[in-house]
Chain A
Amino acid sequence: MLGVGNWPDLNVLVVEDDALVAWDVEAALLDAGCLVVGPANGINRAMELMEANKLDLVVLDLNLGKTSSAPVADRLQEKGIPFIFLSGHSREYLPERHRDRPLVSKPFHPSLLIRALQQAMEHSRAA
């Protein structure tokens, strides 16, 4: 399995509150040749990991427990770290300012997750 496009060993943070799903995402990223940071199951933990690590990409679940992960997205945008949303919700539930970010719908297929990450990377580099 290839890495994310032409960029192997990327540091990818997984922000996902469900342990089993996080595990599955981790497995998919590892299979793709990425390095996994996290997973973080809440905003605070996500923020901590974000500050503590140099991140290339982030997989962000929209709902963390009963709270929205929008603050995390805002922070990522500030820092210029590309990220994708992973959610059971449709696009219209994304915060308006992040609505054009790649969205992978749950349940996900690993290849779609990887492709979305590639897009995010390409988009980030191009910008």
Chain B
Amino acid sequence: MSAKQPHLIVGIGASAGGLDALQHLFAHLPDNTGMSFLVVTHLPADHKSHLAEILRRYTEMDVTMIERDTEVRRNVVFVAPPDSVVLLEKNRFHLAPRGGEPMHKPIDVFFSSLARHSGEEAIGVVLSGTGSDGTLGIKAIKERGGLTLAQGSEGSTPEHHGMPDAAIASGLIDLVLPIQEIGAELGRFASGFVDAAMAAAQTVEAPESYSEVYGLLLRHVGHDFSGYKLSTFHRRVHRRMQICRVATVEEYVELLRADTAEVTLLFRELLIGVTSFFRDNDAFDVLATQVIPKILEGKGSNESVRLWVPGCATGEEAYSLAIMVRECLDTLKVEPRVQIFASDIDEKAVSIARQGRYPKALMDSVSPERRARFFTEDGVSYVVNREIRSMCLFSPHSVLRDQPFSRIDLISCRNLLIYFGAEFQSQVMPIFHFALRPGGYLFLGLAENIGSHSDLFAAVDRKQRIFQKRDHSAFPRTPIIPRAIAALMQAPPLEDEENQSVATLLRHAVDRRVMERYAPAHVLVNRDGDIIFYSARTGKYLEPPGGVPTRHLLTQTRRDLRPDLRAALQEALETLRRVERRGIVADLDDRTSVVDLSVEPFGNSPGDPLFLVVFRDVGEVRERTIGPIAGDERVEQLERTLRETRERLQSEIEEHESALEELKSSNEELHSSNEELQSSNEELETAKEELQSLNEELHTINAELMSKVDALDHANADLVNVFDSTKVAIVFLDQNVVIRNFTPAATEIFNLIPSDAGRPLSDISGSLEDRELHREIREVAQTGAMIERNVRRADGKATYSMRILPYRAPSGRSEGVLVTFVDVTNSVEAEARQRVLVEELNHRVRNMLTVVNSIANQTLRQSTTKEDFVAAFTGRIRAMGAAYTVVAQRNWGDVLLRDIALEQIKPFVDGKAERMKMEGPAIRFSPTAALSFSLVLHELIVNAVKYGALAGVAGSVDLVWKRKGSDALELSWSERGGPTVAAPTRRGFGSELIKREIQRLGGTYGSTYEQSGFRAVLTIPLDESAVQVHS
């Protein structure tokens, strides 16, 4: 075994009712098993399957519909397309055309291809479905050692039992599980399989470890496997161990000891693969050379040769025989009629056999010549041709329960007996013996034997298990006893024998004597009228007919009793009640007697009833003719009457015989037309099944569509809400610039009403000042390139950002144009405002710099030293800064005089600030006026600090203001207690600045130097825009 990781490939066959089953299977299947899956279903070829989409909802694995030859990948679910059959070759799925014939069996075809490709790494799963597709495929998989599973009826039952039941009935299914467990079991098996493969690659147990197993098999089934090929034995035992979930051989031996059923299962596992065409070719060769010619030779063309294949299963054995017989017939001049009766208890198997259609993989053992001659190939399977097919007659039949076929030349019963115990074999052998004509042959499987029945059969070829009937036993040694009566007869006696007293024994002897002597004659028959038990003294009523011994009651009954007995039996069989017939006049022996007879059901087996037939002679007919026989004339008359009667009888008999012939032939016709009906019925089944599967899928898709429609409804509702709520105006246009739809906001731009959908946009008047719009829309419709720009309303009240876009259909194709308008009026205005602000800022900065430049220039003119300049200049700049501080605090609104003054005095520490006293009403200054006034105050304060009242430690300043008249403000600046001051010789910068600033405000300025100190008076006009009284 190579070290390669095993690759399990799972074929899943499902049909009617399969969709539900598949959903359950995948819902319970782990998605990382490393296996590959192929789902095969029955669907009409022209139907597009949605199975892949449906399954995707139940598994995380990739689900792919096979559309062309594809490599098999792990952890992928492949779905077979309905119009093809899938084959597996060299790790690739190949598609083959499905062909036109109605009996389409894609599951069988794929399974057998899978079996051939993967061998032991193949797994076949048969799920719900009608018909029997899959059974042959399962057979192929099992033959090559793969694993087979079927959906069982436990838990949730499959919707349609046909397919799984057929597969299960074949006896080749390893595990029958409820659908919910199949997925998990597959997962478990996959992991176990890998381990087992590893283990097997490393160790092959010594034969000794199996000695227990050999022993158990020998003991229970009488077959010694110790000579069997060890590797195969090892694999098959391990397969059983996996299925039983047992880890070691020791544990398995324990299981075998405890459960004899498992021994049987192991036995079957070991014998798998024995029912294909010409299986065990050697044996068939012997049959063809030694047996078949003997059966056929010397038979006339009106004679028939009859073969019987009990347990024919799916028909390969029967067809193999038919082929060999056909080949042999070719060598003969005269061809007798050949009939091969193939029967099986399983009707499904019989219907598969009847179809005679086999996947290629099952045809390996058929030579190319035979394939060409006896089969028709349809690409993926072979169909038995008419010549062979017409030789075979298939029917459901139980070897044990039903009446056996008779006058058979060859019984081929291969590998049926191994499925049953020794008891069955000992029951079957006499049946076979009975069914064969003298010198007939019996052909058994290689693992089978005639057991203890060597008195019935003689070996022709012991190795190939070919036997011939021994003819010396004139009468069937063992009557064919239905099981029911056999059980009845073996029932223990009512009383324990040991407790029986002498009296009781005597009683029984008396009973027996009375019965023999006085009881009416009676027989016990089964439903077919075969006698099972005779009482004493039945000879009066029964007479063995000439010819082959028979046990049939009616053929033995004396003629006069026959019609009444037949009618009574029939009635009893139908009603299961006691039936009586009285006063039947019959010639019994030489007397004319009157007989009563009764038929009554007997025993307690309703399925297999027995009947007790009692004959009672109630006396002779005294005299049929009243008068005495009168002479020869009378005799003559009687003789004539007798002759006429005989003639009439003769013609009746002839008529009867010809009617019988006709019946026979019409029966045969009916048989064949029945066959035809059967097969057309099966064709109809297949068609019905395809429709059923299709219907299921359509149901699912319909449900899905419904939910999609719901989702669409929701999406549509969302869209409607978006339309109604959005402020974005959108107009949808088709390729011809005809309006398809628009949002309510669009009505503000175009004069649209809901009924305008369908009209060209050019018909609608708009409120834009734009003439280019229509040309641009056509351009976008043609080129598909977007256009974006701003447009204004004609009334100038709004600006829109307009975008013209191609409308993309879901297919990606451009199917018109979309025009959107976003109102950007606010942002356009904001932009303009922004520009103004920036310019204003620019202007102010420049003005500020100009002012600073002026202060610097003028300060420089007045300064004598650099230190003077720096002190004065920085002081003034600071004063300006302080003014701005106050203005900024008021957010560039008006500020109070008091606040301006406080801010200007603030830099002067050491209590100087507190020495300036202020008094006056609340006066408001505009920002520019405040700035001017700040510089004025600064100059006054600096002067006082430098030379005046604030220079020393004691002086103070009074700043007092009041309204002067109605339109002016008067401020006085009075210094007291400072050093003595005198008027300066020339006017300084400070007073020049004060004068100019006050002039600018439209006011006047005057100053005096008095004894007490410097004093200044300022008059400023009250003006709405500059200085005013605060209200």
A19 contact set on B, CB distance < 8 A: 932, 993, 996-997, 999-1000
Contact bitstring B226-250, A, C-beta under 8 A = 1, else 0: 0000000000000000000000000
Question: Could you say which residues of chain A place their CB within 8 Å of the CB of B993?
Answer: 19-20, 23
- Give the residues in chain B near A24, CB-CB below 8 Å: 850, 853-854, 857-858
- The digit string for A35-69, where 1 denotes a CB below 8 A from any CB of B, is 00000010000000000000000000001010000
- For the residues of A in contact with B, the DSSP-based class is mixed
- Closest residue of chain A to B842 (Cβ to Cβ) is A88
* Interface hits, B857-883 → A, CB 8 Å: 857-858, 861
The yes or no answer to A22 lying at the interface (CB within 8 A) is yes
Given contacts A88-B842, A93-B839, A106-B846, contact A21 B851 (CB under 8 A): yes
Residue in B861, B935, B997, B999 whose CB lies within 8 Å of A27: B861
Contact digits for B988-1008, partner A, Cβ 8 Å, 1 yes 0 no: 000011001101100000000
B566-588 residues at the A interface, CB under 8 angstroms: none
Q: Are B996 and A23 in contact (CB under 8 A)?
A: yes
- Asked if A7 is at the interface of the complex by the 8 Å CB criterion, the answer is no
Query: Pick the contact of B928 from A23, A27, A65 — CB < 8 Å?
Result: A65
Q: Is the CB of B850 within 8 A of A88?
A: yes
Q: Are B839 and A89 in contact (CB under 8 A)?
A: yes
Q: Are B996 and A20 interface neighbours, CB within 8 A?
A: yes
Distance to closest chain B CB from A47 (angstroms): 16
- How many angstroms from the CA of A63 to the CA of B846 in the assembled complex? 13
Question: How many residues of B are in contact with the other chain, CB < 8 A?
Answer: 27
Q: Mark B839-856, 1 if CB is under 8 A from A, else 0.
A: 100111111011111110
When the two chains form their complex, are residues B847 and A18 in contact, meaning their CB atoms are under 8 A apart?
yes
The reply to whether B846 and A107 contact each other, CB–CB distance below 8 Å, is yes
Query: Contact at A20–B858, with CB atoms within 8 Å?
Result: yes
Nearest-Cβ distance from residue B1030 to partner chain A, whole angstroms: 21
Cβ contacts under 8 Å, A105 to chain B: 846
> Which residues of chain B come closer than 8 Å to A23, judged between CB atoms?
854, 858, 992-993, 996
Residues of A close to B850: CB separation below 8 A: 18, 21, 24, 88, 106-108
Residue pair B839, A20 in contact (C-beta under 8 Å)? no
Closest residue of B by beta carbon distance from A92: B839
Shortest beta-carbon distance, A27 to chain B, in Å? 7
Q: How far is the CB of A12 from chain B (nearest CB, A)?
A: 17
Bound together, the chains give a CA A106 to CA B852 distance in angstroms of 11
> Which among B846, B858, B997 has the greatest number of chain A C-beta atoms within 10 A?
B846
Inter-chain contacts of B992 with A (CB < 8 A): 23
Give the contact-size bracket for chain A: 20 to 34
Q: Is the CB of A21 within 8 A of B844?
A: no
Q: Is the CB of A22 within 8 A of B996?
A: yes
| CB within 8 Å of B: which A74-100 residues | 87-89, 93
Closest chain A CB from B884 CB (angstroms): 15
Instruction: Considering the complex, give the chain A residue whose CB is closest to the CB of B995.
Output: A19
A20 near B843 with CB under 8 A, answer no
Alpha-carbon distance between A108 and B849 when the two chains are bound, in angstroms: 9
Select from chain A the residue with minimum beta-carbon distance to B1025: A65
Give every chain A residue within 8 A of B847 (Cβ-Cβ). 18, 21, 88, 106
Q: Mark contacts of B923-965 with chain A using CB atoms, 8 A cut-off: 1 yes-contact digit, 0 otherwise.
A: 0000010001001000000000000000000000000000000
B854 to A20, Cβ gap below 8 A? Answer: yes
A106 to B855, CA, bound (A): 14
Look across to chain B and name the residue whose beta carbon is closest to the beta carbon of A17. Answer: B1000
Whole-angstrom distance from the CB of B218 to the nearest CB of chain A?
118
Scan residues 1004-1031 of chain B and give those whose CB is less than 8 A from a CB of chain A: 1025
A105-B842 Cα distance, complex, nearest whole Å = 12
Cβ of B934 to closest chain A Cβ, rounded Å: 12
A63: B residues at CB distance < 8 A:
843
Residues of A within 8 A of B845 (CB): 88
What B residues does A108 contact at CB under 8 A? 850, 853
Q: Chain A's nearest CB lies how many Å from the CB of B883?
A: 12
- Of A22, A27, A88, which contacts B844 at CB under 8 A? A88
The chain B residue with its CB closest to the CB of A106 is B850
In the docked arrangement, what's the CA distance between A44 and B849, Å? 27
- Which residue in chain A gives the minimum CB-CB distance to B845? A88
Report yes or no: B849 in contact with A107, Cβ–Cβ below 8 A: yes
A105→B843 CA distance, assembly (Å): 10
A18 CB contacts on chain B under 8 angstroms? 847, 850-851, 854, 1000
Chain A's closest residue to B926 (CB) is: A65
Instruction: Report B-chain residues with C-beta under 8 Å of the C-beta of A65.
Output: 928, 1025
Within the complex, the shortest CB–CB distance from B456 to chain A, in Å, comes to 131
Nearest-neighbour CB distance to chain A for B933, whole angstroms, equals 11
Q: In angstroms, how far is the closest chain A Cβ from the Cβ of B382?
A: 98
Which residues of chain A are within 8 angstroms of B997 by Cβ–Cβ distance?
19-20
Query: Which residues on the B side are within 8 Å of A21 (C-beta)?
Result: 847, 850-851, 854
The listed residue with most A CB atoms (<10 A of its CB), out of B854, B861, B997, B1000, is B854
| Mask: chain B, 578-602; 1 = CB below 8 Å from A; 0 = not | 0000000000000000000000000
**Chain A nearest CB, measured from B956 CB (Å):** 29
A34–B54 Cα distance when bound, in Å, is 100
Complex interface: chain A residues within 8 A of B858 (CB): 20, 23-24, 27
Interchain CA distance A18-B852 in the complex, whole Å: 12
Q: Which of B827-849 contact A (CB under 8 A)?
A: 839, 842-847, 849
Chain B residues positioned under 8 Å from A107 (CB to CB): 846, 849-850, 852-853
Q: CB-CB < 8 A to B1025: which residues of A?
A: 65
Q: A21-B851, A106-B846, A106-B847 are in contact. Are A27 and B857 (CB under 8 A)?
A: yes
Residues in B with CB closer than 8 Å to A17 are 1000
Please report the C-alpha to C-alpha distance between residue A19 and residue B939 in the assembled complex, in whole angstroms.
15
> Which residues of A are found within 8 Å of B853, using beta-carbon distances?
24, 107-108
Given the interface pairs A19-B997, A22-B996, A24-B858, the reply to whether A88 lies near B846 with Cβ below 8 Å is: yes
Q: Could you say which residues of chain A place their CB within 8 Å of the CB of B852?
A: 107
- Across the interface, do B843 and A88 meet the contact criterion of CB distance under 8 Å? yes
Q: What is the distance, in angstroms, from A70's C-beta to the closest C-beta of chain B? A: 16
Distance, CA A41 to CA B853, complexed state (A): 19
Give residues 91-127 of A contacting B (CB, 8 Å).
93, 105-108
Determine the residue in chain B with the shortest Cβ distance to A28: B857
Closest Cβ neighbor of B849 among chain A residues = A107
Which of A21, A93, A107 has the most chain B CB atoms inside 10 A of its CB?
A107
Give Cα A21 to B846, complex, Å: 12
Task: Name the distance in Å between B932's Cβ and chain A's nearest Cβ.
Answer: 6
* A65 vs B928: C-alpha distance when bound (angstroms): 9
CB nearest neighbor in A for B861: A27
Q: Which residues of A contact B851 (CB under 8 A)?
A: 18, 20-21
> Which single residue of chain A is at the shortest CB-CB distance from B996?
A19
CB of A103 to closest CB in B, whole Å: 12
Measured CB to CB, the nearest residue on chain B to A25 is B854
Alpha-carbon separation in the docked complex, A73 to B785 (Å):
52
List residues of chain A with CB within 8 A of the CB of B935. Answer: 20
Quote the shortest CB–CB distance from B972 to chain A (angstroms).
Answer: 22
Report which residue of B846, B850, B858, B993 has the largest number of chain A beta carbons within 10 angstroms of its beta carbon.
Answer: B850
* Distance in Å: Cβ of B309 to nearest Cβ of chain A: 114
Give the shortest distance, in Å, between A26 (CB) and chain B (any CB): 9
Q: How far is the CB of A50 from chain B (nearest CB, A)?
A: 18
CA distance A27 to B997 in the complex (A): 16
A21 vs B993: C-alpha distance when bound (angstroms): 11
For the complex formed, measure the closest distance between the CB of A120 and the CB atoms of chain B, giving whole angstroms: 20
Complex CA gap A108/B844 in Å reads 14
A63–chain B nearest beta-carbon distance, Å: 7
Asked if residues B849 and A106 are in contact (CB atoms below 8 Å), the reply is yes
CB distance from B1002 to the nearest CB of A (A): 8
Q: A65-B1025, A108-B853 are in contact. List 9 more A-B contacts (CB 8 A).
A: A18-B851, A19-B932, A20-B993, A63-B843, A88-B844, A88-B845, A107-B846, A107-B849, A107-B853
Q: List 5 A-B contacts (CB under 8 A).
A: A18-B854, A20-B996, A21-B847, A23-B996, A88-B847
* Interface residues, chain A, with chain B CB atoms under 8 Å away: 17-24, 27, 41, 63, 65, 87-89, 93, 105-108
Q: Which 4 A-B pairs have the closest CB atoms?
A: A88-B846, A24-B854, A106-B850, A19-B1000
Hey, which bits of chain B sit against chain A, CB under 8 A? 839, 842-847, 849-855, 857-858, 861, 928, 932, 935, 992-993, 996-997, 999-1000, 1025
